[in-house]
């Protein structure tokens, strides 16, 4: 998001600084007019605790430079230092409801709930990326605006790239996402197994949960585990050519991966929660469990219907989830305080 909107703010006449970790592989100090400040990140030494230290150093540097607006994208570790935030100029994008994620339990979930409350009360303005998140945040007295994430429209894809890396070019469905329970990866793998549909499952299966799933489904001849793929051209080619994109995220708001699939014109079968339903706007299909998704995979729409859905998905992204609109919405929000 920062990469997309910050240059647009510079073009509108504003001075913009983005904070980045000191060990980021890109050592740029400026990009498209945006200043980049690298802050020491001790995460390799201290693990998760290093994120708290990094956030503290960012906040202290921002206070010293006395910016007109401080925009925070998320609050999970910065909430601990919320007493240092200059409330009259702090805008916080609250992201998803972190404490509801299945991977966070016990004391960690309690901390995230506390951090959310601190972020909500110590900010001048809250930003929700989804109207369902905005409804939830209305319980706080702090004003809230709904501003979505964005995605690009992908017009064509190079299928030769898929052949080069040994992946199918047609007659397959696709899943891309973190391998964790609240993304319903198990249900997606089980549905592929039951339906016999070829599934390309992109993600890191080297985690404890990922290894468990991989062990169970690696013998399924119709499921391909290529690991993580970061090359945008390859990923977009997979999205453009799939018969359906399977989206299992359930604990966030407007998910970037879902928007990117729609920007490629993919036919989306998404977990049936209100966040995904809001983004899809009636397109694709919604499922609530393995049996329902299996039935959808066994009865995918024909090429003509998928082509119609593809055009509608890209039109929806162009109208509601385009970066110039999002950049302008943020500037309006900043100006309101």
Residue 250 pLDDT exceeds 90: no
Average pLDDT over residues 167-178: 96
Main-chain phi, psi angles of 201, to 5 degrees: -105, 100
Instruction: Kindly tell me the sign of the dihedral angle through the C-alpha atoms of 108, 109, 114, 115.
Output: positive
Tokens of 62: 């921002």
CB 279 within 8 A of CB 255: yes
- Determine the pLDDT at residue 49: 87
Q: In this predicted model, what pLDDT tens digit does every residue of 255-271 receive, in sequence order?
A: 999 999 999 999 999 99
Q: Report the percent of the chain where pLDDT is more than 70.
A: 97
Q: How confident is the model at residue 24 (pLDDT cuts 50, 70, 90)?
A: confident
**3-state SS track over the chain:** CHHHHHHHHHHCCCCCEEEEECCCCCCCCEECCEEEEEECCCHHHHCCHHHHHHHHHHHHHHHHHCCCCEEEECCCCHHHHHHHCCHHHEEEECCCCHHHCCCCCCHHHHHHHHHHHHHHHHCCEEEECCHHHHHHHCCCCCCEEECCCCCCCCCCCCHHHHHHCCCCCCCCEEEECCCCHHHCHHHHHHHHHHHCCCEEEECCCCCHHHHHHHHHHCCCCCEEEEECCCCHHHHHHHHHHCCEEEECCCCCCCCHHHHHHHHCCCCEEEECCHHHHHHHCCCCEEECCHHHHHHHHHCCCCHHHHHHHHHHHHHHHHHHCCHHHHHHHHHHHHHCC
| b (16+ CB within 10 A) / e for 96-119 | bbbbebeebeeeebebbeebbbbb
Query: How many C-beta neighbours within 10 Å does residue 227 have?
Result: 10
Mean pLDDT of 80-107: 83
In this prediction, residue 17 has a pLDDT band, given cuts at 50, 70 and 90, of very high
pLDDT of residue 26: 86
- CA-to-CA separations, 332 to 48, 95, 147, 326, 337, in angstroms, rounded: 35, 19, 11, 10, 9
| CATH 3.40.50.2000 matches 2-150+322-335 | yes
Read off the pLDDT band of 43 (50, 70, 90).
confident
Start and end residues for every CATH 3.40.50.2000 domain found in the chain: 2-150+322-335, 159-320
The pLDDT tens digits of the residues spanning 190-248 come to 999 999 999 999 999 999 999 999 999 999 999 999 999 999 999 999 999 999 999 99
Q: What are the tens digits of pLDDT across the range 268-290?
A: 999 999 999 999 999 999 999 99
- Distance of alpha carbon 28 from alpha carbon 45, whole angstroms: 24
Determine the pLDDT at residue 104: 66
Place of tokens 């468990």: 212
Return the CATH superfamily for domain 159-320: Glycogen Phosphorylase B; (3.40.50.2000)
Mean pLDDT of 108-135: 93
Mean pLDDT, to the nearest integer, of 30-40? Answer: 96
Give the strand pairing for 34-39 and 30-31.
antiparallel
pTM of the model: 0.90
Query: Which residues, in sequence order, are CB contacts of 106 under 8 Å at separation 6+?
Result: none
Mean pLDDT for the chain? 94
Asked if the model's pLDDT at residue 98 lies above 90, the reply is no
The pLDDT value recorded for residue 5 is 97
What tokens were used for 193? Answer: 């197994």
């Amino acid at each position: 998001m920062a990469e997309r909107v910050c240059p647009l703010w510079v073009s509108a006449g504003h001075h913009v600084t983005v904070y980045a970790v000191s060990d980021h592989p890109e050592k740029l100090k400026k990009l498209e007019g945006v200043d980049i400040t690298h802050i020491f990140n001790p995460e390799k030494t201290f693990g998760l605790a290093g994120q708290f230290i990094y956030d503290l150093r960012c906040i202290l540097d921002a206070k010293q430079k006395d910016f007109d607006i401080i925009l925070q994208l998320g609050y999970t570790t910065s909430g601990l230092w919320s007493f240092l935030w200059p409330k009259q100029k702090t805008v916080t994008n609250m992201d998803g409801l972190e404490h509801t994620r299945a991977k966070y339990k016990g004391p960690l979930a309690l901390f995230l709930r506390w951090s959310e409350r601190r972020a909500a009360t110590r900010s001048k303005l809250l930003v929700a990326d989804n109207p369902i998140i905005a409804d939830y945040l209305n319980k706080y007295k702090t004003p809230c605006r709904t501003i979505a994430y964005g995605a690009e429209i992908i017009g064509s894809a190079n299928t030769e790239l898929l052949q080069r890396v040994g992946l199918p070019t047609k007659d397959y469905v696709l899943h891309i996402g973190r391998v964790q329970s609240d993304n319903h990866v198990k249900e997606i793998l089980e549905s592929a197994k039951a339906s016999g549909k070829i599934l390309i499952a992109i993600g890191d299966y080297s985690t404890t949960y990922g290894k468990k799933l991989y062990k169970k489904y690696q013998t399924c001849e119709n499921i391909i585990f290529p690991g993580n793929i970061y090359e945008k051209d390859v990923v977009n080619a997979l999205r453009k050519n799939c018969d359906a994109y399977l989206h299992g995220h359930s604990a966030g708001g407007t998910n970037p991966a879902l928007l990117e699939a729609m920007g490629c014109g993919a036919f989306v079968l998404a977990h049936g929660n209100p966040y995904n339903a809001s983004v899809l706007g009636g397109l694709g299909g919604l499922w609530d469990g393995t049996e329902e998704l299996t039935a959808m995979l066994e009865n995918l729409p024909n090429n003509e219907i998928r082509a119609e859905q593809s055009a509608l998905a890209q039109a929806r992204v162009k109208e509601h989830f385009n970066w110039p609109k999002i950049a302008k919405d943020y500037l309006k929000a900043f100006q309101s305080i």
